[in-house]
Structure 1
Amino acid sequence: MSRHAAARETSQLDRRLEALNSATELASGVLPEEILAGVLQVLDRASSRRSLSGDHTVVGFFGATGSGKSSLFNAVSGEEIATAAVRRPTTTEPLAGIWGVQGSDALLDWLEVRKRHAAAPIKGFADDDTGLILLDLPDFDSTRAANREIVQRMVGLVDVLVWVLDPQKYADAAVHNDFLAPLSSHGAVTIVVLNQIDRLPEHEVRPVLESLTAILARDGLGKVQVLGASAVLGTGVDKVRAAIRQVAMQRKAMSQRLAADVTLAAARLAEASGLPTGGTTAAGGGTAAGATAAAKARLAGELAAAANVPLVVDAVARSYRLEATRRTGWPVTRWLARFRPDPLRRLNLRREGAKPELNRTSLPPAGAPEQARTDAAVREFAEAASAGAPG
């Protein structure tokens, strides 16, 4: 990504975070505290993540028990970093594989990752300036509450989410309902890998991948990358590695992740406010009716009347008719017109050479009736424009 594109994306994220913060402040004391607490967590995470490191991309490997997550993590890394077991899950705390850019300690401290491994370079994968960090995480369906808590926390922190599924449980409601569907706005930073395709007959691999893609589309992740792989045989591992490398080299994952968090938080605020989240603007559905042309015209007319505009318009019309008579009328009417006062001069609005900012008119100042009329006009316009919006 070019420097200009990166700066533009950062500026846009700044504006969105500021807007979300303003919305949260306005909603304080109005919306439920649990909703506001969740939004404040998003703002706090965004501030912390951006202050730590923009040179690193954190990629988390998530999966169920038996999905081969750690084996795929090792296969992608090119070495046995994580301990993999056949019969039982062995990942009980996050493990980091680190490539390239130095200075990741503060970021990993924030992520609460104690186990760290400086991985050896892999040709065509993690260059010295990639700044890639891969995390092998506990199983999301672990029987240990502490493991599940780690996964829940990491789902909200990592820049890129790699979901490792297997042919037996790829349609499991636990991963789709609890994780993938709620994060449908995070498609740009999500990769789904169907591991263990070596356990399927060759003619079934494509139908299973298509089935998984269809399920993800129903979750709102229709554009997410879906890759097939076998950590045991090495099939498809290069494609998984290339997808991760591409994300790391673009250096957009952190901003995309935070932008998706803002989108999700804003949607929750809108839902709690009674506003529609699908972009509709129909009155009565939680969205203001808006300022119609008729309402604008009525407001303009009332304000003009309160400011004596009709009086000035009438004076202008009579003054120009009188001037026309003086110049083009019959001799007798021209002579009589000389004795008729000019309406504009009577209002002190027709003084040649006078500076408008120094010239006082004879228009009566706005009194209590005019001010009351103005207040009523503005109030009626505001009520008409906001009809249908929640309190």
Structure 2
Amino acid sequence: MHSAAKVWVVAKLLLSKFNVFSSLLIPFFMQGSHQACCSIKELDVFNRAHEIKVDPDKPLEGVRLAALQARKTLLVPTPRLRTGLFNKIVPPSGATKEILRICATSQGIKEYSVPVGLDAKARVDLVVVGSVAVSEKGWRIGKGEGYADMEYAMMVSMGAVQEDTPVITVVHDCQVVDIAEELLDDHDLTVDYILTPTRTIKTNCKRPKPQGIIWHKVNYEMLEKIPILKSLRYREKQTGKAVTLRDEHSDLADTNTPAALNEKAMAENTRPQTATGSAQIRQHYVENDSLNPRLEGSDVITTVYVGNIAPSIRVSELKCALREFHATPLRLNWQGAQHRAFLDYKDKATAECAVSSLKGLSLGGNTLRVELAKNQRNKGQVEINSQK
């Protein structure tokens, strides 16, 4: 039986590396799962840790419970990183053992968690990930989608983990197999400890873990799937780091690609027609406070609503981010006291491009809410001068 299981694991391992399956799962084993997870309590790296990141996979439920019972700060990645990076599990005051068990489940993660923003200064002492297969040398194969690897790289970029932050995986004994090192890439995460129902393996792995996000391996599709990547890319670019995407140059060279069309649409918004025209437009920004039907009509002007703006954010910071994400509007109506702003674009297509570009953007620790406006207009428009 174990031999057949190994064949199954190795088959999934190879299939995942070559993307034959698009939705592989971390295998869950009923027999021995509790023992494997509980053995983490015997590790010094667990007992010393204050803040632990544990993947939301079913096989790691026992680890999440152990962390909650030990009163550790427990961080769980959001599913497929769609809405952010982490959720912090916060059990109710005086939670019973049964409530803690619920908190450790997927349902508990939904009911008893709060999001953790990029500026939350998380300092993760221990990382626990699921695996499809792992070798005693510390080589790890996941589901083939790269989320655990990306999560770790993003934590490096955030300063949430250090070079010596230990990584643990929990698997069945049959998932411990020989893995050829040539199957690994430089973005693949390795592990320091392997917990099985019968063994605790210290890998002594010397292969370096990801040193951060490898931007030249990220494409536009990944940015859309993982919105928080946009914010991290913006932050790293502000510090002078190279953040060129894998398909950035080729996409912009092809005028038929969505990225190129987006760039073109945004550029047209900021291209002055004439010096006189620009002066007239600038005067119009200041004087036009009324809800002019021509401005509000979808045939000419479409407005984008930006909400959940952090109190610490100034209009100049929002302007800078809009330029950076190629989403410069014709006008910006800043309502900082209400933590919101309204952006006017020349048509609906351009506005939708802006919404797509700004989706998931985080400023001042808040993830912005960006959507087409629904008559949420007010007075007090402010011009964005793209030359400043």
Q: TM-score range by the shorter chain?
A: under 0.3
Instruction: Report which of the two has the higher share of helix.
Output: 1
RCO higher in 1 or 2 (8 Å CA, sep ≥ 6)?
1
> TM-score scaled by structure 2?
0.28
User: Higher strand proportion, which one?
Assistant: 2
Mark the structure with the bigger radius of gyration. Answer: 1
TM-score normalized by the length of structure 1: 0.28
